Amino acid sequence: MNAKKTISALSHEYIVNDSLHQLFDAVNAISVQGYDEQRRVIYWNKGSELLYGFTKEEATGKKIETLIIPKPMCEVVIAAHSNWVKNNVEIPAAELTLHNKHGDNVSVYSSHVMFTNQYNKKQMYCIDIDLSDVIQAQEQVTFKEHMLETIFKAIPDLFFLMESDGTILDYHASNKSDLYATPESFIGKNMSDVLPKEVGNKFHIHLAKALQQTEMITFEYELTLDHGVAYFEARVNYLSKYQQLVVIIRDITEQHKAAELIRHQAYFDSLTLLPNRFLALDRLTQILNEAERSNEQVGVLFLDLDDFKKVNDSLGHEVGDKLLIESAKRLQNVLRKEDTVGRLGGDEFIILLRNLNEHHNALSIAEVLLKTFREPFNIDDRELILTLSIGIALYPVNGVVASDLLRNADTAMYQAKGLGRNTYSFFTQEMNIVMQRRFAIEEQMHGALERNEFELYYQPQFDLSNNNMIGAEALLRWHNPTLGNVTPDEFIPIAEHTGLIVPIGQFVIKQALEFLSHWQHKQNKKLTMAVNLSPRQFRDKKLLSLIQKTINDLGIDFKDFELEITEGVLMGGQRYIKDALLEINSLGIKLSMDDFGTGYSSLSYLRQYNFDVLKIDRSFINGITINKSDCDLVKATIAMSHSLGLLVVAEGVETKEQLVLLKELGCDFVQGYYLSKPITAKQLINLKSDFT
């Protein structure tokens, strides 16, 4: 007999009640199966199909143990069914874990009934209810209970459950050392009665507030515990539905100490413990007010430690910090108690001298300070010499307000640096002239673009492998009718400071690219153009879009354009600079590290960013033919660059001997006065395309 005939026979022989089957067929939410005395399926409703995955056709005629019973249960199920059929021992309802068509677990609550049909054959019907949602809900409840228990253990806070009058009903404490009293002594007691009177009153007041308000009440208090004074923050919330209060208490001792430290740091330098800039300037204002009333002279000394950065970088910040601490002590030892010494930041200090007179004057104090610092510092068994540069401004001669005096003393300090360091300089009228020059440059710079006062010059670059010109660096020049020729060293820092470098930089880029397009067409060959970028230009959101549009409009290859940046651009580590450099790389524009060797962290930047070119500063090239150490440094730099896949450009080549040596050392490209000074676009067009 084939399978279809078997199924038909079974269905016919074992039908008990068509109306009952019709009822089960209409119910999809419950699985109902019927089995004969040999445990073969004679009925399988839609609910069974949904729960176990077998269609009615697939299930009919199959034995229960081959369909949904896991192997470990098969013998038990067969025995139980046989016992019911033969001995009338009923199978009780139970929660079971069965299998579906795919072998996955199915959790059900299974009930069983036994019928005897008109043929005197027994039929067992199983009614299975899916428990997946119930079990999942139970697991969620268990998980949340465990999670809350874990959270309570992990959180260091104290938790109290109270009646609305403050009586403590329950508590939780991960760290019982934060408890003021033992649980036995406070459960059932009022919180106000358990704590010291002052703290208890605080709780009484704030618990009362919580009963009247819907939002959480927060307050702070302190307690003396066995391990010392501790500071706490209490948060109170009223559960109106249960007429109970929940109080969460957190130990904020460390935060309190940190806040105290922050308050101290607002006025004092954390390293040297000297007054900081804020407090020093506040004291200067007070001193000036007193000096005005008493007609006294006041001195402001701006001090900078000479070459401190080199010491810091070579010996490490730990040694640098110790030097700063010892420097602060020396300054304090020289001064009178009524004078003030403060740290402005970095290696800069300020000294405020009250009531200057013939015997206590700024000059004699400056000389004593210089002498004191000429004595070696003994740091970690090293003798270190660290000299001072001092700028001096006097009240009322050099200013009558704190900001003017500080600025003038700062200007005088830079004058001392220019005099060779390890000396002092008073603020003079000559320095005012320098400042006036700066103001005049800044004034004339406004409108200089519109008046077409800027012009680009180009310094050609040559390939040492074949002596051919391969490109040029664009250099900005400014001629002003009032000021005459203003050098880039003068006007670039001012343009950077005022923000005018942004439109000026856009002008340079457009002019350089337009000339590059013309130059390439005229020479009928590939040439490159390099342009310097300053830190401020990276904040120009239009910078990269301007470059991209100009290059596309002119039909130039992106790889023919090179942007030169110095270490100073990278030192801040700002996100917008990193993003801009990544976009520069993605466009295919070359990236060049300019003035390599003059900074302190250039090597680390070569690792962080995808540079294509490295330019060795002219200060190293100048000495390569007469100074072995310079030659060795340049040789090592070239080798290192090539190992990193970088091309090397030597700046400032001024002699044939330098050129020959650089070629021997494997340098790629050169530029400098020996080959050509910066020249106009017209002169560059007519320049020989190689050198001999």
- Rounded-to-integer distance, Cα 571 and Cα 599, Å: 10
Q: Residue 153's pLDDT is what?
A: 67
203 vs 571, residue with greater confidence? 203
Whether the link from the prior residue into 183 is cis, omega within 30° of 0, is no
Q: What is the pLDDT of residues 316-360, one digit of tens each?
A: 889 899 999 999 999 999 888 889 999 998 999 999 999 887 657
Lookup: tokens for 8: 């038909």
Q: What is the pLDDT of residues 249-307, one digit of tens each?
A: 888 888 888 887 777 778 899 899 999 999 999 999 999 999 998 888 999 999 999 88
Q: What is the pLDDT of residues 568-605, one digit of tens each?
A: 677 656 677 888 888 998 999 999 988 786 655 467 77
Q: What is the pLDDT of residues 77-118, one digit of tens each?
A: 999 999 999 999 999 999 999 999 999 999 999 999 998 887
Q: What is the pLDDT of residues 440-476, one digit of tens each?
A: 899 999 999 999 999 999 999 999 999 999 999 999 9
Task: Determine the topology of domain 441-684 in CATH.
Answer: TIM Barrel (3.20.20)
Q: Residue 470's pLDDT is what?
A: 96
Average pLDDT over residues 200-213: 90
Average pLDDT over residues 46-73: 93
Strand 158-163 with 244-251, pairing: antiparallel
Average pLDDT over residues 120-125: 90
Task: Report the alpha-carbon angle 447-487-615, nearest 5.
Answer: 115
Residue 21 pLDDT greater than 80, yes or no: no
Residue 12 pLDDT greater than 60, yes or no: no
Question: What are the residue boundaries of the structural domains of the chain, listed by start?
Answer: 3-131, 155-257, 271-427, 441-684
Average pLDDT over residues 168-172: 88
Q: How many Cβ atoms from other residues are within 10 Å of residue 244's Cβ?
A: 16
**Class of CATH domain 155-257:** alpha beta
Q: Residue 18's pLDDT is what?
A: 63
Q: What is the pLDDT of residues 502-515, one digit of tens each?
A: 999 999 999 999 99
Task: Determine the topology of domain 3-131 in CATH.
Answer: Beta-Lactamase (3.30.450)
Mean pLDDT of the chain, nearest integer: 88
Q: Residue 7's pLDDT is what?
A: 45
Question: Which of 4-8, 231-235, 542-546 has the least mean pLDDT?
Answer: 4-8
- Rounded-to-integer distance, Cα 78 and Cα 74, Å: 6
Do 271-427 and 441-684 have matching folds?
Answer: no
For the structural domain made of 271-427, what CATH number should be given?
3.30.70.270
Residue with tokens 């005012």: 432
Confirm if 669 and 647 have CB atoms less than 8 A apart.
yes
Provide, rounded to the nearest whole percent, the portion of the chain with pLDDT above 90. Answer: 55
Q: Residue 235's pLDDT is what?
A: 92
Q: Which three-class secondary structure state does DSSP give residue 26?
A: coil
Q: Residue 11's pLDDT is what?
A: 47
Q: Residue 154's pLDDT is what?
A: 63
Contacts of 489 by beta carbon, 8 Å cutoff, 6+ apart = none
